[in-house]
Amino acid sequence: MLAKFEDEKGQKFLAESPEKLAGVLKQKQTEFKQILPNLLAIANTGNDLKPEVKFYQGQEGLKAVYEDTLSSGQKGDEILAYFSAQDILSILPDYIMDYLQRRIKKGIKMLAIVRDSEMAQKHQRQDAKELRQTILLPKDKFNLTIEKNIYADKIALMSFRGWPMGIIIKSKQIANSERIIFELLWKNLSNF
């Protein structure tokens, strides 16, 4: 630590005793110990209830969201999805086909509620081969312009039109609630 003083020639600095620095450090350590419980509460370490939100933009951002669905899953896991096949293929045609092959190779299944189109029908015919089950909904009743994936303890939302972007929300509570809603919808649509 330095003590500062001025004389007729200007500012001067003088080194203080190391014991004074030890005293200051001890005082700061005491102050830190007092606020540590509050800091831990803010950090919420080890608590699954605190959500994490990540935002991505552009084509590279969308790819990062898809990559997260693969890195978060393992053989036998499922991705529950709502989407329009044409929207995805219009912005990421080569990437999405590669992604599909890697998802299959990894053994991650998909349940998909998809806006009906020629492209969607083509993919539905490949369901068994592509580890997927697809329900097609009429365009006029399902004009969704985003994709939603529910996987692991996460939800991914992606928008392909206008300004491409993606959001990943990591929260067991939210993912479990979304999974229940998807499964109810899936069950009702299967009987439709």
14 and 97 part of one domain: no
What band does 41 get if pLDDT is binned at 50, 70 and 90?
low
Query: Do residue 39 and residue 63 come from a single domain?
Result: no
Nearest to 80 by CA among 149, 147, 136: 149
**CATH number of the domain to which 166 belongs:** 3.30.870.10
Is the pLDDT at 109 greater than 90? The verdict is yes
Residues 179 and 110 reside in one and the same domain = yes
Q: Which two tokens stand for residue 24?
A: 């200051």
Do 90 and 147 reside in the same domain of the chain? yes
Which has the minimum average pLDDT: 7-16, 121-130, 170-179?
A: 7-16
Amino acid identity, position 124: Q
The answer to whether residues 12 and 82 belong to one domain is: no
For residues 7 and 93, membership in a common domain is answered with no
173 and 83 share a domain? Answer: yes
The verdict on 65 and 22 lying in the same domain is no
Please state, in angstroms and as integers, the Cα–Cα distance from residue 22 to each residue in 2, 19, 25, 28, 67, following that order. Answer: 13, 5, 5, 10, 50
In this model, does residue 5 exceed pLDDT 90? no
Are the C-beta atoms of residues 5 and 14 closer than 8 Å to each other? yes
Higher pLDDT, 5 or 125: 125
What secondary structure does DSSP assign to 99-164, as a single string? HHHHHHHHT-EEEEEEE--HHHHHHHTTTTTTTEEEEEE-TTT----EEEEEETTEEEEEE-SSS-
pLDDT exceeds 70 at position 117 = yes
Q: Same domain, yes or no, for 144 and 169? A: yes
**Each residue's pLDDT tens digit, 148-166:** 999 999 999 999 888 899 9
pLDDT at position 141, please?
A: 76
Model pLDDT for residues 126-144, shown as the tens digit of each residue: 999 999 999 999 888 777 8
CB 88 within 8 Å of CB 63: no
Helix axes 93-106, 58-71, angle to 10 degrees: 10
- Per the structure, the count of domains in the chain is 2
Tell me the average pLDDT across 29-41: 77
Give the confidence band of 1 by pLDDT, cuts at 50, 70, 90. low
Same domain, 124 and 163: yes
- Say what the pLDDT of residue 49 is: 66
